């Protein structure tokens, strides 16, 4: 989230599109209720289904799964056409004025530089014109035909309301009604918040869906202000923490990036991470990259990391492909290239696409180790369940070890919520039976592996033997010790740059925050963005002061949020060029003539002059990006792409299937079906009464939602002779499953390209372990293809067929 949960109460308009917050985030959704009750805020929901969020909305519109880009580009077009633009914001705080290279263009659904042989783009033309002074050229009048603003106008021109209706199935009159509502928030003192989750991410162009809304929000001036922002509603309680702490295969902690094979030494690695400002006076905060990176390597390897050995840079693994996401890992496993798989807190057999492929992949392992409080389907993948599942347990060699772990309610530590708040928690109960803390289990594995390296050597033992492991009990690092290591400390005395001769930090002292980190080896820090969470003031994550002096839901002293306790990112953008808040009633910060003061930690230097330094300090431009230079693999603007399995061809290019640079493996292409065989659009989602695959182990939840079902419209039921509560078979090339049919008015056929499109809704939660009835969920049916940028599987749009069926034999 750019903003926070509590800030949602400050909004004028909520759009829930690509999520279903009332059901999947019922606690957080109360802040929408607050905004409606106290500010008369309005709620818009755009979803293929009339959800429980839609039930309390002011306006609902349906949409065909996987078509949000067309909708959002159409919305941007309408804003421009109707002058619903926050001009001052667009001119000063976005890259609208930047001039783009002449070579850049778009045609037939593709940007310049596409190579079908590699299924990838040469992105060199997707860049600014750089002048002789080394700065990007701009045209503040926004009239130059090669400036971002003019290119954007041309790019969205094709997305008329009629085109939006043709692609998305949202009737043009409903689309226009929503446009009027959204357009009002272009006023400097009006704002909209975007709340989204998987309805946007789980597509092969998921990242571009989100960019589409981010661009709309920028044009309206709704980023960096109270009640605005792009608010990703995270899933598991610590999924924000997962990406922050570098659990993505292409990331280290704090969004530092993993080195690649070509970056053989530290100087080469740093050469592409210099982040020289692209405009005069800009902060370009990543210029501090080496301080965070060296401090990270010092945290990893302590004394073994020295200037002479590039801070042990050669210990870091180097990527030979862009990343090792879950899809790639299972693909390699299925090719027989993986022997051992540690599966910790993850149930991929239920959660990832194409169960048959996953089963086959797991069958090729030598050893599968699960670390989980529950017995998962993944741990029992070799069992045969369901009449359409033909696993032969006798032919499977994989040995499975299940290590029982504790769960969040039984351990101590911090969880990072969607709003970037690190909240400390304490155990509620003692772990049952043999269950052990994850940290204890991982320590045991590490200590034993290290011992083996000590005794037997190995091809490259150094990173393991030299790993810094300075805990009082090496068997059991405490959450306090780990949190302090993540915050960082001085390893030797650090002198004060502002006060010659004085000492800033004594050796061993916790750093205040990342501004004190150095790249000379005198500091260490496990995760720079978390630096400040446990400093000289102690454990800031355990703060529980719920006072809120401004009354605006800032809660500055409740727990701690990254970075540096800032609650709303890009908050500089809430003020004009003189530093005056656009909305005095929702003042975040303001310029008092000498410094920034107010209700939040300013996002730029406290004394940086408002007319000089731009709010988007992480970008070398100092501005936000309507044109995404060098960061998106599939285009600098979002362009409409169909799902890989779709009821209609791409209107711009009938030959183009899905996202042309999506994560696709050759072997999965044969498993794709067409709309002739499989005419209906499948989509998947969660229910309030269950949490993924855990709660089916609980009798109360199992009774609340006892049975796997699919949802279809009354029209489709009539067409197919399906009765309410009757059994159906749902199938495609990858699987065939049976479920009870829920026939509902909540799903209606859509008209796309002049033809009716029926949606089949498949909820997520049933499997074959636990106390609930068996059921096989959507992931027997989903496609094993992922987003081009982040590799999230396309779980929200696939094709199926459906017919009445007999009840399956148990
Ligand atoms: N009770 C409960 N709460 C949960 C969870 C749970 O299992 N149970 N899981 C948690 C986790 S890990 C996560 S990630 C979050 C997920 O939170 P959400 O993303 O809100 O949850 P989903 O039910 O997957 O909802 C996605 C919604 O998107 C709609 N949708 C599908 N395709 C499209 C599309 O192409 N465009 C648009 N506009 N909408 C589309 C679906 O109809 C559905 O209503 O929920 C979290 N909260
Ligand atoms: N078709 C389709 N597929 C989807 C989705 C969808 O909407 N549609 N949603 C996707 C999303 S967003 C998600 S997040 C995934 C969810 O997929 P998973 O994350 O695989 O599902 P969970 O059941 O939450 O599995 C987490 C496991 O962690 C265990 N666990 C809990 N606490 C601890 C702990 O402290 N330590 C350890 N070691 N284990 C613990 C639980 O017992 C559980 O078995 O599913 C994805 N798959
Ligand atoms: Mo999730």
3-class DSSP string for 442-475: HHHHHHHHHHHHHHHCCCCCHHHHCCCCCCCCCC
User: Tokens standing for 471?
Assistant: 């805990």
Binding site membership of 440 for ligand 2 (Cβ less than 6 Å): no
Q: Average pLDDT of 579-596?
A: 97
CA of 419 to the centre of ligand 3 (A): 15
Question: Mean pLDDT, the chain, as a whole number?
Answer: 96
pLDDT at 809: 74
Ligand 2 pocket mutation pick from 325, 411, 444, 692 by most atoms within 8 angstroms of CB:
692
Q: Residue 449 falls within a domain, yes or no?
A: no
Is the torsion defined by CA of 178, 181, 187, 193 positive or negative?
A: negative
pTM equals: 0.98
Is the torsion defined by CA of 178, 183, 187, 188 positive or negative?
A: positive
Nearest CA owner, ligand 2 atom 1: 795
| Residues of the domain holding 768 | 666-804
CA pair distance 595, 572, nearest whole angstrom: 12
CA pair distance 259, 248, nearest whole angstrom: 13
Ligand 1 pocket mutation pick from 60, 67, 232, 235 by most atoms within 8 angstroms of CB:
235
Atom number of ligand 2 nearest to Cα 197: 12
Nearest CA owner, ligand 1 atom 30: 199
Ligand 1 pocket mutation pick from 198, 760, 763, 782 by most atoms within 8 angstroms of CB:
198
Of the listed ligands, the closest to the CA of 236 is 1
Task: Answer for the pair 389, 381: CB distance below 8 angstroms, yes or no.
Answer: no
**Residue 763 above 90 pLDDT?**
yes
**Biggest distance spanned by C-alpha atoms of the chain:** 85
Q: Residue 740 falls within a domain, yes or no?
A: yes
Closest listed residue to residue 176, CA positions, set 75, 80, 64, 76? 75
Cβ neighbour number for residue 369 with a 10 Å cutoff: 18
Surrounding residues of ion ligand 3, Cβ less than 5 A: 235
Task: Answer for the pair 116, 657: CB distance below 8 angstroms, yes or no.
Answer: no
Q: In what helix (H) or strand (E) does residue 342 lie, and over which residues does it extend?
A: strand 340-344
Q: Per-residue confidence at 21, pLDDT binned at 50, 70, 90?
A: very high
Residue with token string 């969660």: 686
- The more confident residue out of 810 and 28 is 28
pLDDT at 388: 58
CA of 421 to the centre of ligand 1 (A): 22
CA pair distance 511, 517, nearest whole angstrom: 7
CA atoms within 13 A on the CB side of 198: 18
What three-state secondary structure class fits 777?
coil
Q: Residue 779 falls within a domain, yes or no?
A: yes
Question: Strands 110-111 and 13-17: what pairing?
Answer: unpaired
> Which CATH number characterizes residue 773's domain?
2.40.40.20
**Residue 370 above 80 pLDDT?**
yes
Q: Residue 678 falls within a domain, yes or no?
A: yes
Closest listed residue to residue 25, CA positions, set 44, 5, 41, 7? 5
Q: In what helix (H) or strand (E) does residue 752 lie, and over which residues does it extend?
A: strand 750-752
Cα dihedral 596→598→600→604 (10° resolution): -10
pLDDT at 536: 94
Q: Please, where are the H alpha helices in 604-713?
A: 666-669, 699-704
Closest listed residue to residue 690, CA positions, set 698, 681, 682? 698
Nearest CA owner, ligand 1 atom 4: 24
pLDDT at 497: 87
Buried b (16+ CB within 10 A) or exposed e, 392-423: eeeebeeebebbbbbebebbebbbbbbbbbbb
Residue 93 phi, psi dihedral angles, 5° rounding: -110, 0
Residue 741 phi, psi dihedral angles, 5° rounding: -90, 130
CA of 346 to the centre of ligand 2 (A): 5
Q: What is the DSSP letter of 511?
A: P
Q: Residue 670 falls within a domain, yes or no?
A: yes
Question: Strands 798-804 and 192-196: what pairing?
Answer: unpaired
Q: Residue 162 falls within a domain, yes or no?
A: no
Nearest CA owner, ligand 1 atom 3: 24
Q: In what helix (H) or strand (E) does residue 69 lie, and over which residues does it extend?
A: helix 68-81
pLDDT digit string, tens, across residues 669-697: 999 999 999 999 999 999 999 999 999 99
475 contact partners, CB below 8 Å, separation of at least 6:
440, 443, 444, 447
Q: Per-residue confidence at 810, pLDDT binned at 50, 70, 90?
A: low
Cβ neighbour number for residue 645 with a 10 Å cutoff: 27
**Residue 125 above 90 pLDDT?**
yes
Nearest CA owner, ligand 2 atom 39: 345
In the chain, how many domains are there?
A: 1
Q: Residue 637 falls within a domain, yes or no?
A: no
pLDDT at 597: 97
Nearest CA owner, ligand 2 atom 3: 351
736 contact partners, CB below 8 Å, separation of at least 6:
388, 729, 730, 780
Cβ neighbour number for residue 105 with a 10 Å cutoff: 15
Q: What is the DSSP letter of 95?
A: S
Which region among 550-564, 613-627, 735-749, 796-810 has the lowest average model confidence (pLDDT)? 796-810
Question: Strands 755-757 and 759-763: what pairing?
Answer: unpaired
Q: Residue 726 falls within a domain, yes or no?
A: yes
Look at phi and psi of residue 551 and say left if phi exceeds 0, alpha if psi is from -120 to 50, else beta: left
Of the listed ligands, the closest to the CA of 688 is 1
Task: Answer for the pair 126, 629: CB distance below 8 angstroms, yes or no.
Answer: yes
CA of 235 to the centre of ligand 3 (A): 4
**Residue 7 above 90 pLDDT?**
yes
pLDDT at 411: 96
Task: Answer for the pair 523, 512: CB distance below 8 angstroms, yes or no.
Answer: no
**Residue 71 above 90 pLDDT?**
yes
**Residue 389 above 70 pLDDT?**
no
**Residue 386 above 90 pLDDT?**
no
What residues flank ligand 1, with Cβ below 6 Å?
A: 17-21, 24-25, 46-49, 51, 63, 65-66, 68, 197-199, 233, 235-236, 683, 685-686, 688, 690-692, 796
DSSP 611-663: TTS-SBTTSTTBSB-SS--S--TT-SS------SS-SS--TT-TT--S-TTSB
Q: In what helix (H) or strand (E) does residue 148 lie, and over which residues does it extend?
A: helix 148-156
CA pair distance 410, 741, nearest whole angstrom: 39
Of the listed ligands, the closest to the CA of 24 is 1
Q: Average pLDDT of 168-181?
A: 98
pLDDT at 418: 97
């Amino acid at each position: 989230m750019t903003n926070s949960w509590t800030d949602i109460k400050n909004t004028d308009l909520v759009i829930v599109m690509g999520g279903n917050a009332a059901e999947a985030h019922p606690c957080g959704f109360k802040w929408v209720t607050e905004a409606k009750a106290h500010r008369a805020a309005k709620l818009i929901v755009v979803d293929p289904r009339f959800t429980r969020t839609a039930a309390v909305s002011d306006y609902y519109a349906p949409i065909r799964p996987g078509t949000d880009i067309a909708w959002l580009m159409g919305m941007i077009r309408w804003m421009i056409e109707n002058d619903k633009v926050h001009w001052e914001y667009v001119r000063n705080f976005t890259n609208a004025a930047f001039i783009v290279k002449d070579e850049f263009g778009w045609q037939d659904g593709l940007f310049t530089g596409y190579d079908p042989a590699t299924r990838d783009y040469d992105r060199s033309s997707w860049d600014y014109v750089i002048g002789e002074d080394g700065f990007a050229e701009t045209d503040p009048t926004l009239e130059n035909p090669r400036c971002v603003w003019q290119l954007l106008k041309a790019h969205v021109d094709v997305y008329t309301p009629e085109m939006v209706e043709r692609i998305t199935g949202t009737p043009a009159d409903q689309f226009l009604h929503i446009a009027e509502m959204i357009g009002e928030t272009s006023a400097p003192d009006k704002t909209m918040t975007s709340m989204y989750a998987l309805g946007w991410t789980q597509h092969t162009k998921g990242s571009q869906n989100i960019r589409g809304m981010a661009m709309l929000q920028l044009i309206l001036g709704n980023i960096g202000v109270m009640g605005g922002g792009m608010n990703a509603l995270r899933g598991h309680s610590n999924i924000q923490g997962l990406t922050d702490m570098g659990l993505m295969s292409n990331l280290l902690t704090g969004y530092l990036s993993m080195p690649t094979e070509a970056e053989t030494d530290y100087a080469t690695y740093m050469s592409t991470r210099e982040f020289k400002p692209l405009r005069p006076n800009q902060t370009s905060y990543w210029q501090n990259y080496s301080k965070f990176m060296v401090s990270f390597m010092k945290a990893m390897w302590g004394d073994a990391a020295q200037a002479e050995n590039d801070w042990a840079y050669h210990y870091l693994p180097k990527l030979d492909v862009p990343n090792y996401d879950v899809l790639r890992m299972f693909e390699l496993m299925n090719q027989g290239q993986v022997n051992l798989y540690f599966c910790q807190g993850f149930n991929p057999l239920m959660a990832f696409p194409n169960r048959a492929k996953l089963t086959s992949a797991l069958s090729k392992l030598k050893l599968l180790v699960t670390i989980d409080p529950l017995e998962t389907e993944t741990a029992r993948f070799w069992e045969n369940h369901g009449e359409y599942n033909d696993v032969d347990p006798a032919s499977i060699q994989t040995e499975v070890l299940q290590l029982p772990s504790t769960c969040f309610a039984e351990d101590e530590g911090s969880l990072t919520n969607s709003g970037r708040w690190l909240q400390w928690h304490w155990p509620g109960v003692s772990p049952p039976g043999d269950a052990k803390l994850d940290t204890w289990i991982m320590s045991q594995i590490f200590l034993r592996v290290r011992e083996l390296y000590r005794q037997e050597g190995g091809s490259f033992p150094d990173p393991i033997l030299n790993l810094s492991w300075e805990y009082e009990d090496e068997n059991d690092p405490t959450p306090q010790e780990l949190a302090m290591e993540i915050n960082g400390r001085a390893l030797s005395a650090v002198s004060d740059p502002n006060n010659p001769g004085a000492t800033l930090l004594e050796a061993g002292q916790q750093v205040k925050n990342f501004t004190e980190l150095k790249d000379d080896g005198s500091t260490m820090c496990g995760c720079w963005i978390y630096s400040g969470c446990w400093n000289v003031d102690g454990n800031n994550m355990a703060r529980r002061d719920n006072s809120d002096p401004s009354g605006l839901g800032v809660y500055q002293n409740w727990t701690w949020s990254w970075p540096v306790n800032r609650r709303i990112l890009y908050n500089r953008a809430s003020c004009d060029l003189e530093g005056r808040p656009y909305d005095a009633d929702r003042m975040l910060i303001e310029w008092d003539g000498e410094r920034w003061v107010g209700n939040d930690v300013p996002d730029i230097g406290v004394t940086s002059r408002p007319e000089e330094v731009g709010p988007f300090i992480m970008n070398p431009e100092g501005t936000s990006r309507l044109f995404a230079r060098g960061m998106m693999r599939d285009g600098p603007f979002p362009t409409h792409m169909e799902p890989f399995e779709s009821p209609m061809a791409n209107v711009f290019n009938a030959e183009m299937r899905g996202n042309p640079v999506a994560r696709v493996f050759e072997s999965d292409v044969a498993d794709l079906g067409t709309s002739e065989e499989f005419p209906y659009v499948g989509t998947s989602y969660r229910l309030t009464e269950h949490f993924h695959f855990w709660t089916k182990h609980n009798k109360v939840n199992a009774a609340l939602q006892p049975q796997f079902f699919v949802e279809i419209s009354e029209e489709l039921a009539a067409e197919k002779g399906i009765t309410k509560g009757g059994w159906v078979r749902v199938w495609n090339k990858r699987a065939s499953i049976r479920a009870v049919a829920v026939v509902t008015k909540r799903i209606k056929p859509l008209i796309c390209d002049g033809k009716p499109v029926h949606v089949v809704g498949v909820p997520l939660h049933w499997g074959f372990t636990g106390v609930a009835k068996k059921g096989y969920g959507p992931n027997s049916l989903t496609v094993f293809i992922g987003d081009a940028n982040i590799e999230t599987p396309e779980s929200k749009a696939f094709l199926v067929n459906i017919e009445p069926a007999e009840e399956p034999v148990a």
